[in-house]
């Protein structure tokens, strides 16, 4: 019997892995930075797959009565394009940046629940792979990302069952991640980092996590009802048995509209970080940018029926949701004007991150304006379900979110990989992307107003819209080219670049730039003490008597400089393989729902064993 108090008590039954390097460490890591990288690479892979699907769609529509794809293939491809870009690219890519950056930006060593973080990632990637396995198991989902029943519940192909199960799985990943990051932001901020000293990116991250926590249960209920309808013959959405098809639409969009803000708010955060750094000015109207983000989060739950103006909800509902849709333009406008205010009178350095950030603002504005036309309900009777809508949401989500995410990659690449992406190629990519993007989606306004509906696998020449379809297809391949430029840039940078001469190369403002590039596993030798918004900036600059900024001489700062290089005696969570084990059980259960109860049992067993191991392993490695 051990009695000495100096011996650490071993409360766990199972030993924990210790390796933090080597390929196996990627499977057991609970380090938020490594998990962020895993998210990032997986999401980017799905971006490429979704992009190939987009190219197939545009190739099919390049000429009238095309037979490159048949109706069945086309329906699967446009469905998977939407599902992939939303659930497997933009959401996890945002999660990648949140994971990597939030702890660094708030001065924490990791997220609140490191193993839950690993679990989130593994559930996400396995859910994505589960969805994609449908291509080989009888056909991919073919009812659109919106999956309207009764079409989706009665379609004889197996695809929409994969859709329901796959999205439940990725929803589990997002829910766990959301709780984790929200708790991290609320509880783990460094001393002095009050809520209103947080970087706007962290604020937007917090809003997004709350949106996820409240929106995901709604879609989960709907997905289970769809699954029950398809698999076990219930009648939630079956009108012939008293079911209600519109129930799905209300549930789906009550999730689906906040989802739009889940996709765009991270980019708003990114833009709010990049613009001040490259304008060398603080963010204009910090409080207004933060509160407008929160307001968007709230109002975002009250506009869902603008996706349903043609459904026949009646003039009362259409009036109400038309008005709320107009209202949400106000806080969005506030953000735009504040970003312009940030750049105004600045000293604007157009490095690649700034190009993408300004591009995102400029493109998002176009999507925002076409969005206002949706609030004009009778006009929307004409535009809904046409390419005008496709144009609108690509200006918002590609023009806004994807441009923003590319800006984030250029901006934080040096932080993560200790190398700077080539500036020339970054600019080349930006301009190709800007031209390609506008060529692809600009003409879609015209196509929609000209009467081309969404989701049709071909169109006759007599529709008179062939030319603009061809322009759009050319644009899509330019987008593909710009993506290739990015990949080449990244690959060559990693191979050739010698590393950073200056670890604060952008003269940045926020805490993540106070550590080395890449940050050590423990992030900060000493937890920073925060005194203001843009803490790092204020350590570098002080205002002189005339209110001008003067650089603080090196070594004169009263802030703790790096003295302890070792980082020893810092408590860090140990790696664990149990999150992976627990996650593996979920797709097995899902396959079981499709094929055999035995598999359900086996999958459940794996997950339970995973959670048991999780609970019983030692709190730290020895």
Partner 1 sequence: MADGTVTRTCAPRAGAALSGGRGTVRRTRWILALLALTILLAACSKTAPQNTMNPAGPTAQTEKNLLVLVLWPAAAVFLIVEGGILLISIRFRHRKDRDRMPPQIHGNTRLEIGWTIAPAIVLAVIMVPTVSTIWELARQPADAMQITVEGYQWWWGFRYTDPDMAVSYGDHDAIVTADVMVIPTGTTIDLTLTSLGGGAHSTSGVPDHEVIHSFWAPRLFGKQDVIPGETNHIVFAADEPGIYWGQCAEFCGLQHGKMKFRIRALDEADWQRWVANEKQPAVTPPAGSAQQGMDLFFGTNGVGGQCIQCHGVGGTKATSTAAPNLTHFAATTHECFAGCDFETFNPDGTPNVEALKAWLRDPNAVKLGAKMPDYGLTEQQIDLLVAYLYSLK
- Chain positions 446 to 465 lying near partner 1, rule: CB under 8 A, are 446, 449-459, 462-465
Q: Which residue has the tokens 């990302």?
A: 145
- Token readout for 334 is 């506030």
Which parts of 340-369 interact with partner 1 (CB under 8 A)? 340-341, 343-350, 358, 361-362, 365-366, 369
* Residue selected from 22, 233, 312, 563 as contacting partner 1 according to rule CB under 8 A: 312
- Cβ proximity to partner 1: between 77 and 452 the closer is 452
Shortest Å, Cβ 190 to partner 1: 22
> Residue 479 is encoded by which pair of tokens?
């987008």
DSSP-derived letter for residue 261 is: H
Q: Which stretch binds partner 1 (CB under 8 A): 125-133, 210-218, 323-331, 595-603?
A: 323-331
Nearer to partner 1, 373 or 497 (CB): 373
Where residue 180 falls (left for φ over 0; alpha for ψ -120 to 50; beta otherwise) is: alpha
What are residue 551's phi and psi, to 5 degrees? Answer: -75, 135
Q: Which of residues 409-438 bind partner 1 (CB under 8 A)?
A: none
Taking the complex as a whole, the smallest distance from the CB of residue 288 to partner 1 amounts, in Å, to: 5
Do the Cβ atoms of 386 and 455 come closer than 8 Å?
no
196-216: burial string, b at 16+ Cβ within 10 Å, e else: ebbbbbbbbbbbbbbbbeebb
Integer Cα distance of 444 and 413 in angstroms: 33
Does position 302 interact with partner 1 (CB under 8 A)? The reply is no
Task: For the CB of residue 468, give the shortest distance to partner 1 in the complex, in Å.
Answer: 6
Encoded tokens for 320: 């109400």
Please, which residues have CB within 8 angstroms of residue 478's CB and are 6 or more apart in sequence?
432, 433, 435, 436, 439, 440
Secondary structure letter of residue 550 according to DSSP: E
3-state secondary structure of 480: helix
Give SS3 for 385: coil
Q: Which stretch binds partner 1 (CB under 8 A): 81-89, 149-157, 177-185, 571-579?
A: 149-157
Give 108 or 354: the residue with its C-beta nearer to partner 1: 354
Work out how close the CB of 310 gets to partner 1 at its nearest, in angstroms, rounded to a whole number: 5
Furthest-apart CA atoms within the chain: distance in Å:
89
Q: Minimum Å distance from CB 550 to partner 1?
A: 8
How far is the C-alpha of 202 from the C-alpha of 198, rounded, in Å?
6
Among 22, 156, 233, 553, binds partner 1 (CB under 8 A): 156
Please identify which residue in 20, 59, 234, 373 interacts with partner 1, judged by CB under 8 A.
Answer: 373
* Minimum gap (Å) between residue 249 Cβ and partner 1: 9
Q: Which of 53, 110, 155, 617 binds partner 1 (CB under 8 A)?
A: 155
x/- mask, partner 1, residues 81-100, rule CB under 8 A, reads --------------------
Which range of residues in 42-50, 101-109, 308-316, 612-620 is near partner 1 by CB under 8 A?
Answer: 308-316
In the complex, minimum distance from the CB of residue 244 to partner 1, in angstroms, rounded to a whole number: 7
Determine contact, residues 271/357, Cβ cutoff 8 Å.
Answer: yes
From 32-40, 228-236, 254-262, 278-286, give the range in contact with partner 1 by CB under 8 A: 278-286
Work out which of 64, 150, 518, 520 binds partner 1, going by CB under 8 A.
Answer: 150
Residues 221-260 that bind partner 1 (CB under 8 A): 238-240, 244-246
CB of 591 vs partner 1, minimal distance in Å: 24
The only residue of 64, 282, 520, 567 in contact with partner 1, by rule CB under 8 A:
282
Judged by beta carbon, residue 258 or residue 341, the one nearer partner 1 is 341
If binding is defined by CB under 8 A, does position 599 make contact with partner 1?
no
Tokens 């708030």 sit on residue:
106
The minimum distance between CB 368 and partner 1, in angstroms, equals 9
Q: Distance from first CA to last CA of the chain, Å, rounded?
A: 19
Residues near 55 by beta carbon (within 8 Å), at least 6 away in sequence: 476, 477, 480
> Using CB under 8 A, which residues numbered 481 to 540 contact partner 1?
none
CB of 359 to partner 1, least distance (A): 10
Among 287, 494, 532, 596, binds partner 1 (CB under 8 A): 287
Each as own residue / partner, the long-range contacts of residues 382-386 (CB below 8 Å, 24 or more positions apart, any chain) are 382/449, 383/448, 383/449, 384/307, 384/309, 384/310, 385/310, 385/453, 385/454, 385/455, 386/447, 386/448, 386/449, 386/451, 386/452, 386/453, 386/454
What angle do helix axes 91-105 and 114-133 make, rounded to 10 degrees?
170
Contact status, residue 291 vs residue 241, Cβ threshold 8 Å: no
| Positions 13 through 72 that interact with partner 1 (CB under 8 A) | 70-72
| Closer CB to partner 1, 80 or 172, in the complex | 80
CB of 152 to partner 1, least distance (A): 9
Q: Minimum distance between the CB of residue 331 and partner 1, rounded to whole angstroms?
A: 8
């Amino acid at each position: 019997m051990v009695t000495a108090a100096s011996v650490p008590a071993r409360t766990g039954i199972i030993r924990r892995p210790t390796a933090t390097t080597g390929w196996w460490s990627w499977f057991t890591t609970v380090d938020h930075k490594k998990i962020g990288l895993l998210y990032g690479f997986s999401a980017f892979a799905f971006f490429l797959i979704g992009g190939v699907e987009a190219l197939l769609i545009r190739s099919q529509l390049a000429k009238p009565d095309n037979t490159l794809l048949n109706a069945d293939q086309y329906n699967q491809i446009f469905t998977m394009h939407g599902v992939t870009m939303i659930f497997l690219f933009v959401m996890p890519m945002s999660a990648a940046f949140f994971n990597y950056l939030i702890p660094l930006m708030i001065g924490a060593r990791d997220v609140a629940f490191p193993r839950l973080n690993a679990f989130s990632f593994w559930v996400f990637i396995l859910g994505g792979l589960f969805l994609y396995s449908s291509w080989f198991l009888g056909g991919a989902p073919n009812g659109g990302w919106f999956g309207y029943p009764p079409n989706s519940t009665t379609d004889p192909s197996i695809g929409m069952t994969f859709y329901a199960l796959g999205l439940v799985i990725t929803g589990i990943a997002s829910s766990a991640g959301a709780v984790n990051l929200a708790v991290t932001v609320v509880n783990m901020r460094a001393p002095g980092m009050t809520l209103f000293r947080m970087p706007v990116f962290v604020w937007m991250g917090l809003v997004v996590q709350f949106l996820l926590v409240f929106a995901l249960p709604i879609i989960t209920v709907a997905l289970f009802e769809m699954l029950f309808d398809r698999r076990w013959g219930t009648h939630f959405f079956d009108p012939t048995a008293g079911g209600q098809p519109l129930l799905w639409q209300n549930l789906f969009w009550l999730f689906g509209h906040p989802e739009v803000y889940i996709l765009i708010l991270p980019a708003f955060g990114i833009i709010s970080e990049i613009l001040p750094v490259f304008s060398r000015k603080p963010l204009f109207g910090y409080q207004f940018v933060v509160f407008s983000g929160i307001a968007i989060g709230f109002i975002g739950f009250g506009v869902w029926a603008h996706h349903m103006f043609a459904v026949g909800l009646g003039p009362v509902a259409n009036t109400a949701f038309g008005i709320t849709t107009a209202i949400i333009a106000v806080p969005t406008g506030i953000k735009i004007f504040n970003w312009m205010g940030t750049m105004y009178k600045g000293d604007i350095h157009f490095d690649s991150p700034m190009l993408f950030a300004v591009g995102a603002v400029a493109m998002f504005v176009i999507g925002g304006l076409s969005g206002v036309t949706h609030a004009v309900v009778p006009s929307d009777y004409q535009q809904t379900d046409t390419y005008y809508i496709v144009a609108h949401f690509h200006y918002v989500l590609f023009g806004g979110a994807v441009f923003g995410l590319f800006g984030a990659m250029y901006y934080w690449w040096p932080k993560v990989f200790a190398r700077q992406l080539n500036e020339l190629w970054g600019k080349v990519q930006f301009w190709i992307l800007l031209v390609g993007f506008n060529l692809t989606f600009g003409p879609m306004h015209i196509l929609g107003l000209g009467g081309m509906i969404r989701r049709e696998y071909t169109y006759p020449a007599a529709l008179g819209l062939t030319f603009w379809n061809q322009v759009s297809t050319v644009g899509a391949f330019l987008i593909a080219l710009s993506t290739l430029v990015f990949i080449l840039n990244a690959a060559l940078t990693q191979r050739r670049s010698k590393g950073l001469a200056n670890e604060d190369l952008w003269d940045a403002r926020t805490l993540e730039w106070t550590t080395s590039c890449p940050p050590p596993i423990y992030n900060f030798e000493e937890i920073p003490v925060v005194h203001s918004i843009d803490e790092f900036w204020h350590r570098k600059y002080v205002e002189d008597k005339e209110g001008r900024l003067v650089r603080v001489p090196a070594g004169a700062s009263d802030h703790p400089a790096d003295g302890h290089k070792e980082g020893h005696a810092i408590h860090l969570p140990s790696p664990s393989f149990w999150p992976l084990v627990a996650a593996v059980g979920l797709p097995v259960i899902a396959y079981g729902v499709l094929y055999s109860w035995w598999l359900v049992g086996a999958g459940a067993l794996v997950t339970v064993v995973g959670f048991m191991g999780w609970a019983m392993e030692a709190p730290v490695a020895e």
